[in-house]
Structure 1
Amino acid sequence: MASDLDTVRVLRALFNDMPRAPQGLTHLETMAWIKQSMNDFEGGDMAYTIEHITRNAMLDIVLRMREDGPLADDAAFDEIVALISTKEGRSTFMDRCIQAQKSNAVTERLLARVQRPWTEPEPLFVPDPLEVQRFVLAQASGPGPMYAEYGAREDVRQIGVLEQPPEQVHEFAWGFVTEDQGDWNFYLAEVWRQGTVGYFERFLSAVQLETTGLPEGPAAASPMPACLTLDVGIGAFSSLTLHAGASLADPDVRRWVGEVFIAGLLPRMAARVLDERCDFPERVQ
């Protein structure tokens, strides 16, 4: 088990460059100081919150590895403590964790595929034609039960994803889509219930497979309009994002997003993404 001294060392290494409140402040003064520090942080209060969440996650990882992993060795632990004490070192450490997680996930998927043959999963959901038509006609439903469920999640509240309400919300039986600052952001209930973070890259791979005409993809690919740009959903903490800019108001582009992407591609892609046995080809990873 990690000792109190281990915990203190890791905390000091991780948070040595974060602003600290001066001694002697009252509770109200401390709250005001924290708020000002968040606003003054590079990137604003959202960046401050994400940075804190990231470093706390690193704290948990390091202490777990200290208890029953490779950092049980004192020399290895000392090396990691020194590494995470700098911005560059923290980035290196997180890259290692991400790569290790990817390798582990790939191994698990390969083992699962050996155990039983993989077959194309059924689409995750069957789109409601009326909901799709409302989207195509730009008739936003506004926030509903799906939006409320997502907004009530602890991780969503911590990051402050919905503190600034999006310009438009389209609710569907499977989740919701927001329109905000020239972007369409897609939120699927089955994804956020299983942990949004684990599926950013898999959604990106799934969309590329469906829209680029690769041999491993569908016989008839559905290329995206040139005005749309695909992006991982990290910025909006969504499953994925389509950047449209001024084309958000283009009826033909909206029709493609509604009738092709939402009604056809998204249910099939989401099923593949959530099926851990589905291993996307390297060229789209």
Structure 2
Amino acid sequence: MASDLDTVRVLRALFNDLPRAPQGLSHEATMDWIRRTMTDYPGGDLAYTLEHITRNSLLDIVLRLREDGHLKDDAAFDQAVEQLSTPEGRKTFMDWIINAQKSVDATARLLNRAKRAWSEPEPLFVADPVAVNRFIDNRPTGPGAMFTEFSMRDDAREVGVFDTEPDAVHEFDWGFIAEEPGAWNIYVAEIWRKGTVGHFDRMLGAWRLETTHALPEGQLHAPHVPPGLTEDIGITRFCAFTLHAKTNPADPDVRRWVGEVFITHMLPVMAARALDENYDFPARVMELN
């Protein structure tokens, strides 16, 4: 088990270059200092929060490796602590983690192929045409039960996703879409209930599977994506997926495509594939770089 000294050493290495509150401040002064620090951080308070989450995740990983991984070796642990004390070292360490995870995922794909035949999950939901038409007509519902459920989650509150309410909210029985200038952020209830973080890359892979025509044999090719409509991984807005429109407000034809094609046909299949832990995405669509 990692000792208290191990924990302190890793904490100091990870957080040595982040600002720390001066000693002796009152509670109110400390909170004010934290707010100013988050606001002044490059990229703002969301970037500050994400940086803290990332470094705390690294702390958990390093301590776990110290307990039952290769960092049980004192020399390897000392080297890792030194590496984590610089931005370049942290990036190198994170790249190593990502590559290790890719290797694990590749092995899992091979095992899945060996033990079962290819199967397609059922679409996660059937889109309500009334709700879809309301979205196409740009008639937001406003925040409702789905928005409230998500915004009250501890992870959403910690990241501060909706510290500022979005310009428009379109609620559906499967989740909601938070609309911002030139962007639609898609929140799917079954995904946030199982853990948003674990599905960022799988939703992007599901989109690429649909739009690059790398579909299983016998499946129809995806409809043409309108010019100017681009996809984005959901990490920035802590959502399942984001679509960006070239113009603001979005071209009515693009909005119609998002409603009639993406929400109605693509999203139910994408979400089902992302949520099925046994669904085997081709490696080429899971490459995020």
Q: Please give the range of the TM-score, normalised by the shorter of the 2 chains.
A: over 0.9
C-alpha spacing 1:281/1:105, structure 2 compared with 1 (3 Å): closer
Name the counterpart of 1:232: 233
Residues 199, 274 of structure 2: 8 Å contact kept: yes
Q: Which moved more, 1:63-72 or 1:208-217?
A: 208-217
Q: In structure 1, what residue type is equivalent to 2:128?
A: D
Give per-residue Cα distances to partners, 1:89-115, cap 9 Å, x unaligned: 111112222222232233234323322
Deviation of the 1:5 alpha carbon: 0.9
State how far apart, in whole Å, the 2-side matches of 1:243 and 1:62 are.
36
Deviations 1:12-55 (A, max 9, x none): 10111111122222222222222221122111211111111111
Residue number in structure 1 paired with 2:261: 260
2:55 is matched with which residue?
Answer: 55
Partner of residue 22, structure 1: 22
Q: CA deviation at 1:240?
A: 1.0
Per the alignment, residue 44 of structure 2 pairs with: 44
Letter in 2 for 1:203: M
SS in structure 2 opposite 1:92?
Answer: helix
How far apart, in 1, do the equivalents of 2:215 and 2:33 lie? 57
The 2-side partners of 1:278 and 1:136 are apart by 31
Q: Is the 8 A contact 2:181 2:249 kept in 1?
A: no
Matched with 1:78 is: 78
Match of 2:192 in 1: 192
Cα shift at 1:68: 1.4
TM-score by length of 1: 0.95
SS of 1:112's equivalent in the other structure is helix
Q: Name the % identity.
A: 61
How far apart are 1:180 and its partner, in Å? Answer: 0.4
Q: What is the rounded CA distance, in whole Å, between the counterparts of 2:130 and 2:8 in structure 1? A: 57
CA RMSD of aligned residues (A): 1.6
- Residue pair 1:209, 1:284 contacting (<8 A) in 2 also: yes
Where structure 1 has 5 or more consecutive residues not aligned to the other structure, the ranges are none
Uncovered stretches (5+) of structure 2, i.e. residues with no partner = none
| Aligned partner of residue 242 in structure 2, secondary structure | strand
Q: Partner of 1:246: helix, strand, or coil?
A: coil
Checking the alignment, whether the CA contact within 8 Å between 1:247 and 1:253 is kept in structure 2 is: no
Q: Is this contact kept in 1: 2:146–2:189, CA < 8 A?
A: yes
**Superposition pairs for residues 1-285 of structure 1, below 5 Å?**
1-214=1-214, 216=216, 218-246=219-247, 248-285=249-286
1:232-269 Cα offsets, whole Å, 9 max, x none, are 11111111111104254322111110011100011111
Alignment partners' CA distance in 2, 1:47 and 1:166 = 18
Report deviation, 1:281. Answer: 2.2
Q: Secondary structure at the match of 2:194?
A: coil
Moved more, 34-43 or 71-80: 34-43
Aligned length: 285
Equivalent-residue separation in structure 1 for 2:145 and 2:216 (angstroms):
37
Partner amino acid for 1:78? D
CA contact (8 A) 1:228 1:244 kept: yes
Structure 1 pair 17–221 and aligned structure 2 pair: CA distance change class (3 A): same
Residues in 1 aligned to 2:189 and 2:168: alpha-carbon distance in whole angstroms: 18
Range 272-281 or range 129-138, more displaced: 272-281
Distance 1:110 1:156 in 2: 35
Q: Is the 8 A contact 2:234 2:242 kept in 1?
A: yes
Cα deviations across residues 198-246 of structure 1 (Å, max 9, x unaligned)? 2112211211221233464733321210120111111111111111042
| Deviations 1:135-177 (CA, angstroms, capped at 9, x unpaired) | 1111111111111111111111111011111101111111111
Contact 1:146 1:175 in 2 (8 A): yes
Normalising by the residue count of structure 2, what TM-score does the alignment of the two structures yield? Answer: 0.93
Q: Distance in 1 between matches of 2:27 and 2:210?
A: 54
Mean Cα displacement is larger for which, 47-56 or 21-30?
A: 21-30
